Amino acid sequence: MWTFTADAEEYAAAAEPFLLSDPEGNTVPLSVLAGIRAGMPAKDAYFGWWTVDGEVRGAAFRTPPKPVGLARMPVEAIVPLVEALRGEIPEVMGPLELTDAVTAALARPADVVSERLYRLGTLTTPDVPGRGRPAVAGDFPLLVSWYQAFGVEVAMSDSEDVAQRVEHRLTARELFLWEDDGVPVAFAGLSPESGGVCRIGPVYTPPARRRRGYGAAVTAFVSHAALEERCKQVVLFTDLANPTSNSIYQSIGYEPVSDYAHVSYRPLT
């Protein structure tokens, strides 16, 4: 049975122990919950958990305009979820076997972005000119423009208030820059720690600065900072359609864990 609420703490009381049983696989729902607790706006959000014989065995959430997010759970939870939401699922993201089940249940045409979750093994620091540093308030205009450019480039831009998000992440010390000769050339974000796990993302290098190792450098810098100061394990997602980024992350020590997908559904005609 699925139960839904608009109260993040009610959801946490029911579902957080389940989510923490796999903090790596549930890095997205856990970091979203941590962000809401830290003051990130979540207008019109809803949260749900799936119980079998009184035991929580699944969870899902949506913080519009973001997709419906799926925790790791048995595929048997998906048809009841689609029924409970009355098929009102414009987008979904989560483990591949679960997003495939949503698509089958909806029987609607879909656009799929295939992703892979990576876990950091042994960190290898690349030999790249420059240095990393935490972002500061003075970096705000640059980071807003880079966040917007990233959203357009990955075709996942939405109506979210980017300036508000960047301001929140700056205040929470979640954004980092790589500088070369004193000039910012790339940035990366770091999610709040949940269950000992932090997640890196997004990572962005402006087109004119690419192919110089800056993306690898800022990712390695943030990975090291995370392990030193915040968490025991670091993960990140990659777009499987981008072999360059997958190769870069593996070169600094990231190892593949499992496949995910971000699926957008087109209207029936």
The identity of residue 114, as a single letter, is: S
SS3 2: strand
Residues whose CB falls within 8 Å of the CB of residue 245, separated by 6 or more in sequence, listed in order: 203, 215, 238, 239
pLDDT in tens, 10-66: 999 999 999 999 999 999 999 999 989 988 888 899 999 999 999 999 999 999 989
DSSP letters of 8-44? HHHHHHHHHHHHHTSTTTTHHHHHHHHHHHTT---TT
> Cα torsion at 208, 240, 245, 89 (round to 10°)?
70
Of 40, 60, 41, the C-alpha closest to 49 is 60
User: Alpha helix (H) ranges present in 138-193?
Assistant: 140-153, 162-171
Q: Are 194 and 38 in contact (CB under 8 A)?
A: no
What average pLDDT does range 199-220 have in this prediction?
A: 96
Query: Alpha-carbon distance 120 to 53, whole Å?
Result: 36
pLDDT in tens, 211-237: 999 999 999 999 999 999 999 999 999
Please tell me the pTM assigned to this model: 0.93
Tell whether omega for the bond before 202 is within 30 degrees of 0, i.e. cis: yes
Query: Alpha-carbon distance 75 to 247, whole Å?
Result: 31
Q: Edge-to-edge strand order for the sheet containing 175-180?
A: 2-5, 46-52, 55-62, 68-70, 91-95, 254-265, 110-120, 233-239, 197-204, 183-190, 175-180, 131-134
What average pLDDT does range 75-99 have in this prediction?
A: 97
Q: Are 19 and 94 in contact (CB under 8 A)?
A: no
**Element containing residue 79 per DSSP (H, E):** helix 78-84
> Cα torsion at 96, 151, 123, 186 (round to 10°)?
170
Name the least confident of 152-156, 162-166, 171-175: 152-156
Among all chains, which residue has been given the structure tokens 């696989």? 25
pLDDT in tens, 105-161: 999 999 999 999 999 999 999 999 999 999 999 999 999 999 999 988 887 645 568
pLDDT category at 269 given cuts 50, 70, 90 is low
Burial label for 60, CB within 10 Å (0-12, 13-18, 19+), is buried
pLDDT at position 156: 62
